[in-house]
């Protein structure tokens, strides 16, 4: 199974700052990686697929990059509603479809 490791566990930033979240795969997943946002009490929401493509309705301040084993999600100019847990997920080798353990973004 492909293991996805996210870092850091928690980011604490102020509104207007930028956040960079990392996801590292145990083996290459090419560009077959997605990012999800989960706000408290809500189901996850797809943000990014194929490493860098924004899903429908996702603001341009969310961007993804990377390929192979190293990926990043960048949130520029953080807004209060960006407080959430962010998960990466791979679809290169399945089953199982696997998720990272999540990164919590807290706004001060």
Partner 1 sequence: QVQMVESGGSVVQPGGSQRLSCAASGFPFSRVTMHWVRQAPGKGLDWVAAISRDGDRKFYARSVEGRFTISRDNSDYSLFLQMNGLRPDDTAIYYCVKEILGTGYLDFWGQGALVTVSS
Say how many C-beta atoms besides its own lie within 10 A of residue 66's C-beta.
19
Question: Residue 70: beta bridge partners?
Answer: 24, 67
Based on the shown chain and the rule CB under 8 A, indicate whether residue 32 belongs to the binding site for partner 1: yes
9-17, 37-45, 60-68, 69-77 -> range binding partner 1 (CB under 8 A): 37-45
Q: Which is nearer to partner 1, 2 or 19 (CB)?
A: 2
Exactly one of 34, 51, 73, 75 binds partner 1 (CB under 8 A); that residue is 34
Identify which of 105, 106, 97 has the alpha carbon closest to the alpha carbon of residue 25: 97
Residue 66 main-chain phi, psi, to 5 deg: 115, 165
Measure the CA angle with vertex 6, ends 90 and 22; round to 5°: 90
Contact 66, 5 (CB under 8 A): no
Residues 60-99 that bind partner 1 (CB under 8 A): 85, 87, 89, 91, 94-99
Residues 1-30 as x/- pattern, contact with partner 1 by CB under 8 A? ------------------------------
- Residues 11, 49, 5, 25, CA torsion sign: negative
For partner 1, how many residues bind (rule: CB under 8 A)? Answer: 24
Residue numbers at the binding site for partner 1 (CB under 8 A):
32, 34, 36, 38, 43-46, 49-50, 55, 85, 87, 89, 91, 94-102
């Amino acid at each position: 199974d492909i293991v996805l490791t996210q870092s850091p566990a928690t980011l604490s930033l102020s509104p207007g700052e930028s956040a960079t979240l990392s996801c590292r795969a145990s083996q290459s997943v090419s560009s077959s990686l997605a990012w999800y946002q989960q706000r408290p009490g809500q189901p996850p929401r797809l943000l990014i697929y194929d490493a860098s493509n924004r899903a429908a309705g996702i603001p341009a301040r969310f961007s993804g990059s990377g390929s192979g084993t190293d990926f990043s999600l960048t949130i520029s100019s953080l807004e209060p509603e960006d407080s959430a847990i962010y998960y990466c997920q791979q679809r290169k080798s399945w089953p199982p479809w696997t998720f990272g353990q999540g990164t919590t973004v807290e706004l001060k």
